Structure 1
């Protein structure tokens, strides 16, 4: 309304001025009117969070390192506080930093901050389907169905434990084949973790040397790196640039390739579908879809596009994050051998040679603390996924308008100096009480929190415990010959997920090591 009034005044003035001086006077009058309207607001009315002044079109890009955006935003928070705004190109984003602000938003005001902000690249990929980058009734129904089905297939319970225990044996065999020589853990760990999701989704695991399986996992991992790249962040700000960006073109090609592979797997399951023998989540989806079609209920969210996107979301969330965390854990064991010694001692004492089970977690507090501390320090999703306000929100003295993108910065929670004694140091004592038992820490939020927290948390926790404990039971992880612990680099490779820098480790068989020691 104010802008319309000003435009009307401008048109009137321009029609009635004929000299440069008169034109300047008219523009001055407009400026006074503009300032009058915006300065006449009541104190505190529509008070937005503070932030750096944006440049036209570019916003605050001149202040940001897109290769380490989480670091740039943390630095800005030191000047502007725990709630501030920043412009990523023309888009305004509100950033929340520190445990108190993030908890207040995601937990205490979960409904208001519970929508997903869907950036251009995820709009291209998901098209509003699936569970990670969707909103509304479709998202609610897919999330409800997925959670229910995952529970039916034992997510976080005995059935999942059996699948994970079986997969640890396959992974150990591959590690043993290197006979203590250096190798890159990345692909093998990702194959193992991906097989857990495969077993739950498709009802089967894949051999590590299956070329289609390798392609599916490797391309998915490459996509996660590209999704967090500076190029794709620029695309999100200026989508019209897409056809001229090689990274975006390759990403779209990869997405189509993986979608074709997944569709092929779904089609084969559809051809052999037996409603009385549900093999996995895909079968459950197809059976439910079949019943809806037969009942003639009309429009439904149960269609192939939603199925493929839901499966893709589960693989992305359940493979890359868990696999990356496990790789960080093995790297940290090689980096800090004295901590690895304590883990070995506890595992040997408690398990006495038998296979670990989930119930052992409570009797292995130091091992559990090491896993938790790995998740905290590795900080693998530092930016979190973007949220969006569902309505106008009054938050910490500010007003955040409906539809605003909000970044609850997880790195600021996991390394909050007010919550952690040594926030930038690998210190399992963060999770141990004075008696050496596990203690809960509210600021431990690697899975985020609230309505959008990771729905696979239970499965991921079980995987990390069983894989890590089993591997540490059988191997000692060391740097390659000629490389010292100090030379192992903890600098992450930035993507949507923070991966360890490329490296090799030696997995030395503890059984052989003990035999050699005894001789």
Structure 2
């Protein structure tokens, strides 16, 4: 009995010592850090974050603690930055200090801590510069890429015309259309909508991101070393993307076997040529692991986030038929029905341009933004943030900042139109983030959204099989990504 008592006292003493040590360490870390709620050992502030969902909770805490506060994602202190002014300061004004990628356990496992999205320092600079130049060489942001986007839009029209007015869930079709554009640049290939294997891969990707954005995915990001061994839905996040990664690996193997250094066909060829040029450099970032992770990420970004925006956009156009009617009128006046839309038409279509911007703002595809890390100690708004601290600039707080948008929670095309009906820019429009680490494919996405929306609306009127009062357009999950609800759409040919 005495031994048992001694063991019990020892365990209690150890637990007490651990708790005291945790809170002493916590207090020391926080002495000059921004304020925030007190964390629990191991779990940090997870319980507070799950009371109303991650994004609403982050915005609510900003009301209490101000635009700069500290949360604990597990044991990791993370500075949360909210609102247009503070986020702009982080991403643009002090961009070099907040330039590194922060800790994202889920994506570190996806990408093996490699590739453009997770690299830092000189490796990141070289990979980003190479990727920008190579993507531009293959048409990104140029008129030469307009034709493949127009061709893909034509395939979309054919597919929806063949539905013959029957309700259809277009989400995976939009994913395939978006993936085909980035695929043409990365691997020089287009996938047919009838390709069941590829469509299954895209659906798996959507399912994976729904899990990543759920409380299970958020908990994994906070305590990955525990969650990876526990049962639960989060264990499916990684297997769901294995087939996509295998497609990338197989494509790289095929490119290696057929590579002609004198005539590169796409991004993978160019990367392989650079690998060969630097194969004797032990410090090079141009290796196979970085290639796999970078292409894998570009596929996900090119297919998933773009299709999320399109899906939300379709739902909003159905919900607001008066907006759709005005778009039909503008398309008929500027383009007519006999020719395909071109990117240059955008300059004469202020209403379409404004609607697409408002769709991007309200759909808010990546509401949390991507976490950053400080490259050195920095004094920011009266607080001391040590080097290597994770910093999360919350993009949804910018896209819904009342100082920038008159009705931030409502769909309102006037956010991007002046009194004369001309398109106007808005400083709070940051769906691609900002600064040196902004989305590398912004110009490509802008082209896709314009041509896809304009082409589909030139041919069809979009309706829902359910009453508009019952049409749900709210995200089903809101974490790393806003997940659009699965809704059927009727594509009615215009007379």
TM-score normalised over the length of structure 1 = 0.87
Paired residue for 1:338? 322
Give, in whole Å, the separation in 2 of the partners of 1:431 and 1:445.
13
Task: Give me the CA root mean square deviation.
Answer: 2.1
Paired residue for 2:467? 484
SS of 1:452 mapped into structure 2:
coil
Can you list the C-alpha shifts for 1:372-403, whole angstroms capped at 9, x where unaligned?
Answer: 00011111211111111111111111111111
In the TM superposition, residue 302 of structure 1 has moved relative to its aligned partner by: 1.7
Number of residue equivalences: 469
Aligned equivalent of 1:203, options 188, 192, 207: 188
Moved more, 454-463 or 64-73: 64-73
Work out whether 1:411 is the aligned partner of 2:390. Answer: no
Aligned equivalent of 2:441, options 428, 431, 456: 456
Asked if 1 retains the 8 angstrom alpha-carbon contact of 2:43 and 2:223, the reply is: no
In the TM superposition, residue 299 of structure 1 has moved relative to its aligned partner by: 4.2
Moved more, 461-470 or 56-65: 56-65
In the TM superposition, residue 75 of structure 1 has moved relative to its aligned partner by: 0.6
Q: 1:98 to 1:196 in 2, by over 3 A?
A: same
Give, in whole Å, the separation in 2 of the partners of 1:161 and 1:453.
23
Q: Larger radius of gyration, structure 1 or 2?
A: 1
Work out whether 1:301 is the aligned partner of 2:285. Answer: yes
Work out whether 1:328 is the aligned partner of 2:312. Answer: yes
Can you list the C-alpha shifts for 1:412-460, whole angstroms capped at 9, x where unaligned?
Answer: 1111111111111111111011111111111100001112210100000
Moved more, 414-423 or 66-75: 66-75
Can you list the C-alpha shifts for 1:446-498, whole angstroms capped at 9, x where unaligned?
Answer: 00111221010000011000101111111000111xx2222211110215321
Aligned equivalent of 2:367, options 367, 379, 382: 382
Work out whether 1:287 is the aligned partner of 2:280. Answer: no
SS of 1:359 mapped into structure 2:
helix
Q: 1:65 to 1:248 in 2, by over 3 A?
A: closer
Q: 1:72 to 1:253 in 2, by over 3 A?
A: same
Give, in whole Å, the separation in 1 of the partners of 2:454 and 2:224.
45
Paired residue for 1:9? none
SS of 2:324 mapped into structure 1:
helix
Asked if 2 retains the 8 angstrom alpha-carbon contact of 1:228 and 1:497, the reply is: yes
SS of 1:403 mapped into structure 2:
coil
In the TM superposition, residue 298 of structure 1 has moved relative to its aligned partner by: 4.5
In the TM superposition, residue 253 of structure 1 has moved relative to its aligned partner by: 2.3
SS of 1:92 mapped into structure 2:
strand
Give, in whole Å, the separation in 2 of the partners of 1:221 and 1:387.
25
TM-score normalised over the length of structure 2 = 0.91
Work out whether 1:168 is the aligned partner of 2:174. Answer: no
Q: 1:3-18 counterparts in 2 under 5 A?
A: none
Asked if 2 retains the 8 angstrom alpha-carbon contact of 1:492 and 1:500, the reply is: yes
Paired residue for 1:265? 251
- Give the unaligned 5+ runs of structure 1: 1-26, 40-44, 515-519
Give, in whole Å, the separation in 2 of the partners of 1:156 and 1:352.
25
Paired residue for 1:275? 261
In the TM superposition, residue 115 of structure 1 has moved relative to its aligned partner by: 0.9
Q: 1:286 to 1:56 in 2, by over 3 A?
A: closer
Asked if 2 retains the 8 angstrom alpha-carbon contact of 1:106 and 1:449, the reply is: yes
SS of 2:278 mapped into structure 1:
helix
Paired residue for 1:219? 204
Q: 1:500-511 counterparts in 2 under 5 A?
A: 500-510=484-494
Give, in whole Å, the separation in 1 of the partners of 2:241 and 2:179.
17
Paired residue for 2:11? none
Give, in whole Å, the separation in 1 of the partners of 2:284 and 2:440.
23
In the TM superposition, residue 222 of structure 1 has moved relative to its aligned partner by: 2.2
Can you list the C-alpha shifts for 1:21-64, whole angstroms capped at 9, x where unaligned?
Answer: xxxxxx9xx99xx9xxx99xxxxx96321112223333223322
Paired residue for 2:296? 312
Give, in whole Å, the separation in 1 of the partners of 2:142 and 2:408.
32
Moved more, 266-275 or 421-430: 266-275
Give, in whole Å, the separation in 2 of the partners of 1:92 and 1:118.
11
Work out whether 1:401 is the aligned partner of 2:386. Answer: yes
In the TM superposition, residue 106 of structure 1 has moved relative to its aligned partner by: 0.7
Q: 1:247 to 1:432 in 2, by over 3 A?
A: same
Paired residue for 1:121? 106
Aligned equivalent of 1:350, options 329, 334, 339: 334
SS of 1:508 mapped into structure 2:
strand
SS of 1:476 mapped into structure 2:
strand
In the TM superposition, residue 134 of structure 1 has moved relative to its aligned partner by: 2.1
Q: 1:67 to 1:203 in 2, by over 3 A?
A: farther
Paired residue for 2:56? 71
Can you list the C-alpha shifts for 1:206-252, whole angstroms capped at 9, x where unaligned?
Answer: 11222332233222222222222222221222222212234343223
Give, in whole Å, the separation in 2 of the partners of 1:254 and 1:502.
19
Work out whether 1:182 is the aligned partner of 2:167. Answer: yes
Give, in whole Å, the separation in 1 of the partners of 2:39 and 2:191.
50
- Give the unaligned 5+ runs of structure 2: 1-16
Work out whether 1:245 is the aligned partner of 2:231. Answer: yes
Can you list the C-alpha shifts for 1:123-148, whole angstroms capped at 9, x where unaligned?
Answer: 22222211112222222221111111
Q: 1:373 to 1:55 in 2, by over 3 A?
A: same
Give, in whole Å, the separation in 2 of the partners of 1:284 and 1:291.
11
SS of 1:443 mapped into structure 2:
coil
